[in-house]
Structure 1
Amino acid sequence: MPLTMLIWPLPALLTWALAWAVFVGLRAAGLGAVAAFVLALLVSGAPAWTGRTPWRRAFMLGGFPLSLLVTGAAGALPGWVWLVPLALLLALYPLNTWRDAPLFPTPALALKGLALKAPLPAGAHVVDAGCGLGAGLKALHGEYPQARILGLEWSWPLTALCALRCRFAKVRRADIWAADWSGYDLVYLFQRPESMSRAMDKAARELRSGSWLVSLEFEAVGWAHRARLQNVDGKPVWLYQAPFQRR
């Protein structure tokens, strides 16, 4: 069962237990304290990043190092090693992405029926702008199995993990706002409400006639949508087709 399906705080407790198990196991195997600490953090970083909110992710990632301090087990660690959790957080969520949406995976059924509302020819180029760990890519691939699926992600650890999870897609590290959208037939994103205006302005400039912009949950206020899906409570899918029309 995915951690996101468990009742809070079970995901945090399991993440901390995993980190401690890795740390204790590596120390028992003779690995140094610093190396064991860093590897335990890296291993626990992936489940920690599935937390539903930024505070939960920080709580899940920070619980292990804080528990080391409380128990006194951190005595063998030099002071600089406490910068590692911060470095890991910045690697997963770089500074220039802080205005974008944090890592919220696309629910499995959220895009069901998208291909009926926004039909595309075989070989169409479909991109998930901000693909995270690939939940949206998998949903898009399920709807458009004959399309060329691409993912853009700025965080290099997430880019690497997503590429491993989604072998059917071409995943690359890129700034979604600097990338050229003109070659895509459909751009999918799961952003913040306040960034939807920026996304629509970019789509209006770059997407050719007939292409689609698809937004999970957040409507582009002031723009006329072509269709709307509602498969998951609280997660509507808004479909806009170029040339876009203001309301």
Structure 2
Amino acid sequence: MQQIEETLEEMGFLLSLDLHFTDGDYSADDLNALQLISSRTLKLHFNIYRGLHHHVNVMFDYFHLSVVSVTVHASLVALHQPLISFPRPVKTTWLNRNAPAQNRDSVIPTLESVVFGINYTKQLSPDGCSFIIADSFLHHAYHFHYTLCATLLLAFKGLHSYFITVTEEIPSCQKLELEDMDVEARLTELCEEVKKIENPDELAEHINMNFAQLCSLLMALWGQFLEVVTLHEELRLLLAQENHTLRVS
């Protein structure tokens, strides 16, 4: 979990803002008619559990005396293994006989190799009737499952808590019936469920399903949050006051 947290925390999120100018008529379909005269880049300090909720006034430069107010909301809403589709064996035909060999780095890893580790191979049971999972691969799967589930659940908790705080501090905010969740109990339940599964294929699919379900919950909450806070003037003022307090403290 620490490795995933550190990786996400070290990612640099930048927001570029451009100031354009024209002394003639222009249309939204012809933005090339506008002259770029100044740019600013904001570094976003994103936390995977608290998200990012910030308001700041950005001055481009003292010559143009142009200021823009920017409110940024961000939240972790999904974590998943790098899978787009499952690789399939390429059949050699006269159509692709001269095709270049597939680069190993570009091969999409299988679900099993992500869940159990890159060195995972299926092993037959002594009776030859089923597959078994070596303890090292099993521990890798359990740890992988726990880490991603815990990260997603803590992100949900952080966004949910901030959402509640906003609706309590700003009376005019739309009140929604938000689904509350005991994060620790849910994590324990998910981890106990996967330990009951013995079939390798079923275990990998179940772990992947857990990730998908948690991501869906997060994205649904994020959608509700955006509906309530987007372009909300009182929230903008609240965030602006918080930014001012941080600057003078």
TM-score (ref. length: structure 2): 0.24
TM-score, with length taken from structure 1: 0.24
Which structure would you say has the larger Rg?
2
Q: Which gives a bigger RCO, structure 1 or 2 (Cα 8 Å, sep 6+)?
A: 2
